[in-house]
Amino acid sequence: MPKSNHSIITANASGLKLPESFYLGTNVVRIARELLGKSLYTRIDDTVTGGTIVETEAYSWKERGCHAYDNRKTARNAVMFGPGGHAYVYMCYGIHFLFNVVTNTAETADAVLIRALEPHTGVAAMEERRGKLTNRFHLTSGPGKLTRALGIDRLWNGASLQQDKVWIADDGLRIRRSDIVAGPRIGIDYAGEDALLPWRFSVRGNPWVSKAG
């Protein structure tokens, strides 16, 4: 009997931290796909919170949707020009922090935006950070929501994913290729035809995937 993919989980925090080599890969689209099913964790004091990544988007300096399009380096996006395996956190709409994983080697500005998690570790702590919710699926089902749930803010920009503050682990979960949905990215209409690139990936049928798509 096939396992329901309605809710994929649940792993624990004992999985293997992804090595730096994973992030140094040159194909950011492939990395965005491979991050589905991995777990993103943060540790603040002794509180570990985390969940399974169920939605990502790839961004590359070669296309207009990216902050670093055409190799334009600014104070905000400087982290993207460093080596892969670091966090790129920035503020959007003046209210929300968005968490990205820098990929590729130094001077090649690619990144993967983490858009949604299925929470499985430290859920009570995340609920406390998010405040009262009418629907439990709203806890981490959006890029701004998950950073708030995990306690991520702008000070985390540039943090290494090889340390014990924020990291991504392989908890052994495998997402079948046929259960990965690809589609256009959210909220980048200004990118012209690059907005049509099918660089948003999510887990088919998972209730924690953001509503925006």
Partner DNA sequence: GCAATGATTTACT
Partner DNA sequence: GTAAATCATTGCC
Contact flag: residue 30 with DNA (CB under 7 A): no
Minimum CB separation of residue 58 from DNA in Å reads 10
Residue 38 found at the interface with DNA (CB under 7 A) = no
Give the residue with the Cβ less far from DNA, 90 or 180: 90
The structure tokens listed for 131 are 């405040």
User: Which residue stretch of 8-16, 39-47, 67-75, 201-209 sits at the interface with DNA (rule: CB under 7 A)?
Assistant: 67-75
Q: In whole angstroms, what is the distance from residue 11 CA to residue 168 CA?
A: 13
CB 112 within 8 A of CB 59: yes
Q: Which is nearer to DNA, 15 or 83 (CB)?
A: 83
Residue 94 contacts DNA per CB under 7 A: yes
CA dist., res. 123 & res. 100, Å (int):
21
Q: Strand, coil or helix: what is 155?
A: helix
Residue 160 DSSP code:
B
Angle at 102 between CA 178 and CA 155, to 5 degrees: 125
Strand, coil or helix: what is 129?
helix
**x/- site string to DNA, residues 151 to 190, per CB under 7 A?**
---x------------------------------xxxxxx
Q: Are 137 and 124 in contact (CB under 8 A)?
A: no
With contacts defined by CB under 7 A, how many residues of the chain interact with DNA? 38
Give kind and range of the element (H or E) at residue 50. Answer: strand 47-60
Q: Given candidates 77, 104, 108, 202, which one binds DNA under the rule CB under 7 A?
A: 77
Q: Among residues 25, 82, 83, 144, which is the contact residue for DNA, using CB under 7 A?
A: 144
- As a residue count, the chain comes to 213
| Residue 48 contacts DNA per CB under 7 A | no
Write out the E strands in 66-109. 87-92, 96-103
The window from 6-14, 28-36, 47-55, 142-150 that contacts DNA (CB under 7 A) reads 142-150
Residue from the set 17, 96, 129, 165 that interacts with DNA by CB under 7 A = 96
**Applying CB under 7 A, which residues contact DNA?**
57, 59, 65-67, 72, 74-77, 88, 90-96, 98, 100, 111, 113, 130, 138, 142-145, 148, 154, 185-190, 210, 212
